[in-house]
C-alpha cells in the first residue's frame, strides 16, 4: 500500500466506509497487473460482517467522485486509478509487459483508455526507462487514452432513490447516521456507469463470469456469438435509420445491443488469439519431445534447434581405406 496516501488531502477527506472499500479492493486476490478487478458489490460485501451491497455502492460513489476508483457497470469491472503508478510495475520491463497484457484483456474500453492515460503520465515523468521500449507497452501506449476526469461519476443502478438517506451504512461504523453527500441523484439517462459512449460493453443482464487471471471479465449474455451471426445489429431503430437527436427509447436499446455485439466480437477475438498461442505452444513442445538433437528447452548449444537431423555425410575414401586396414589387421 502506498503510505504517502495518508498525506493526501483528498484521501483524508474520504469517509471511513470509502477508505475501507478502497483498501478492500486494493488487497483483493483477483486484482490484475493493471489494478483492475471484478465489480460485484454483493461479493465485495462478504468481506466484512454486516457489510451490505448498498453500503459498498454508496462508498464507491464517493471514491468515483474523487477519481480514486473507476467503475464500469456495463462490463462489471473496476479500476483503481493510481494502482499502476504506486505499485511500480512499470519500472521493471517484464512486469510492464504483464501490465500491458492485463490492460489488453479488460473488457471495458473505457478502463483500458484510463490505463493508457495514467501510463502516459508516468512515462512523461520517467522518460528514460527501457520499459517503454517493449513491444507490448509501445502498442498499449499507441491506443486511445481516456481522461478519467471526463467520465461520469459512478451511479449505481440498484439505488432507486435520489435521497441517499435510504441507503444504509453497514453497522459498526463510528457514525452510521452520516450519509455521504457525494451520492448523486439517480441519472435518468439509461446510459449509466462510466462514460458508456466510449465503452461498447455488453448489457449486464446476466451476472458477469468470475474474474480471470490477468484482468479479463467474461461478458457472455444475450449477445449473438460472432460465429453465429457475423452481421452487426443496427445502431438505431427502424424509424430512425440515420439516428435522431430527439430522445428515442428503441434507438437507445439498439445502441446497447450494438455495443454488446461489438464487445462480444472483441472477446471472441481475444479467445481466438489465446487458443492460437496455446496450440502453437503445444506443437513446439511436441516437436521438442520428439527431437533427439536438442535439449528440453529446444536448444542445441546456444542455438535454437530446427528439429531436422542433418543428412548423413558420405564417407571419404580415406576413411574407407582406414576401415579396411583395421579390419584386415584384426
pLDDT digits 0-9 by tens, 92-126:
888 899 999 999 999 999 999 999 999 999 999 98
Looking only at the bridges linking them, the beta strands covering 303-304 and 299-300 are: antiparallel
- List all residues 6 or more positions away from 260 whose beta carbon is below 8 Å from its beta carbon: 200, 201, 202, 203, 219, 221, 222, 223
Band the pLDDT of 1: cuts 50, 70, 90: low
d(CA 66, CA 84): 17
Whether residue 320 is predicted with pLDDT greater than 80 in this model: the reply is no
Report pLDDT for 92: 87
What's the Cα-to-Cα distance from 107 to each of 10, 15, 113, 151, 267, rounded to whole Å? 29, 30, 11, 17, 7
* Mean confidence (pLDDT) of the chain: 75
Task: Write phi, then psi, for 46 (nearest 5 degrees).
Answer: -75, -5
Tens digits of residue pLDDT in 261-312? 788 888 888 878 887 877 877 777 778 777 777 777 777 776 777 766 555 5
Whether residue 183 is predicted with pLDDT greater than 70 in this model: the reply is no
Whether residue 195 is predicted with pLDDT greater than 60 in this model: the reply is no
**Percent of the chain at pLDDT exceeding 90:** 33
pTM over 0.85: no
Q: 59 or 222: whose pLDDT is higher?
A: 59
114 touches 64 (CB < 8 A): no
Report pLDDT for 290: 77
Whether residue 168 is predicted with pLDDT greater than 60 in this model: the reply is no
d(CA 155, CA 309): 65
What's the Cα-to-Cα distance from 101 to each of 124, 142, 158, rounded to whole Å? 21, 14, 32
Report pLDDT for 60: 95
- List all residues 6 or more positions away from 249 whose beta carbon is below 8 Å from its beta carbon: none
Report pLDDT for 166: 37
Whether residue 159 is predicted with pLDDT greater than 60 in this model: the reply is no
Whether residue 77 is predicted with pLDDT greater than 90 in this model: the reply is yes
Band the pLDDT of 137: cuts 50, 70, 90: very high
pLDDT, mean of residues 23-41: 92
String of DSSP letters for 69-110: EEEETTTTEEEETTHHHHH-GGGSHHHHHHHHHHHHT-S-HH
What's the Cα-to-Cα distance from 283 to each of 277, 304, 311, rounded to whole Å? 10, 15, 24
Band the pLDDT of 52: cuts 50, 70, 90: very high
Amino acid at each position: 500500500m502506498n503510505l504517502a496516501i495518508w498525506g493526501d488531502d483528498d484521501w483524508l477527506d474520504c469517509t471511513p466506509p470509502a477508505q475501507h472499500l478502497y483498501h478492500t479492493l486494493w488487497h483483493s486476490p483477483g486484482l490484475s497487473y493493471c489494478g483492475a478487478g471484478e465489480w460485484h458489490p454483493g461479493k465485495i460485501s462478504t468481506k466484512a460482517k454486516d457489510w451490505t451491497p448498498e453500503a459498498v455502492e454508496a462508498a464507491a460513489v464517493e471514491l468515483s467522485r474523487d477519481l480514486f476508483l473507476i467503475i464500469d457497470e456495463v462490463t462489471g469491472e473496476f479500476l483503481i486509478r493510481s494502482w499502476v503508478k504506486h505499485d511500480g510495475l512499470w519500472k521493471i520491463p517484464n512486469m510492464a509487459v504483464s501490465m500491458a497484457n492485463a490492460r489488453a484483456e479488460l473488457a471495458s474500453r473505457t478502463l483500458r483508455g484510463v490505463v493508457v492515460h495514467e501510463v502516459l503520465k508516468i512515462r512523461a515523468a520517467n522518460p528514460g526507462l527501457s520499459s517503454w521500449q517493449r513491444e507490448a507497452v509501445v502498442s498499449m501506449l499507441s491506443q486511445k487514452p481516456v481522461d478519467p476526469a471526463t467520465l461520469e461519476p459512478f451511479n449505481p443502478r440498484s439505488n432507486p432513490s435520489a435521497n441517499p438517506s435510504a441507503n444504509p451504512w453497514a453497522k459498526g461504523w463510528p457514525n452510521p447516521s452520516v450519509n455521504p453527500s457525494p451520492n448523486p441523484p439517480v441519472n435518468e439517462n439509461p446510459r449509466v456507469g462510466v462514460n458508456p459512449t466510449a465503452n461498447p460493453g455488453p448489457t449486464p443482464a446476466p451476472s458477469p463470469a468470475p474474474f480471470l487471471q490477468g484482468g479479463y471479465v467474461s461478458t457472455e449474455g444475450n449477445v449473438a456469438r460472432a460465429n453465429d451471426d457475423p452481421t452487426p445489429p443496427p445502431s438505431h431503430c427502424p424509424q430512425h435509420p440515420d439516428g435522431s437527436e430527439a430522445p428515442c427509447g428503441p434507438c437507445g436499446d439498439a445502441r446497447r445491443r450494438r455495443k454488446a455485439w461489438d464487445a462480444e466480437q472483441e472477446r471472441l477475438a481475444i479467445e481466438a488469439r489465446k487458443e492460437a498461442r496455446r496450440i502453437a505452444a503445444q506443437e513446439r513442445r511436441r516437436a521438442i519431445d520428439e527431437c533427439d538433437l536438442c535439449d528440453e528447452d529446444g536448444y542445441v548449444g546456444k542455438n535454437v534447434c530446427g528439429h531436422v537431423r542433418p543428412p548423413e555425410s558420405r564417407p571419404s575414401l580415406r576413411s574407407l581405406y582406414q576401415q579396411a586396414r583395421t579390419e584386415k589387421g584384426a
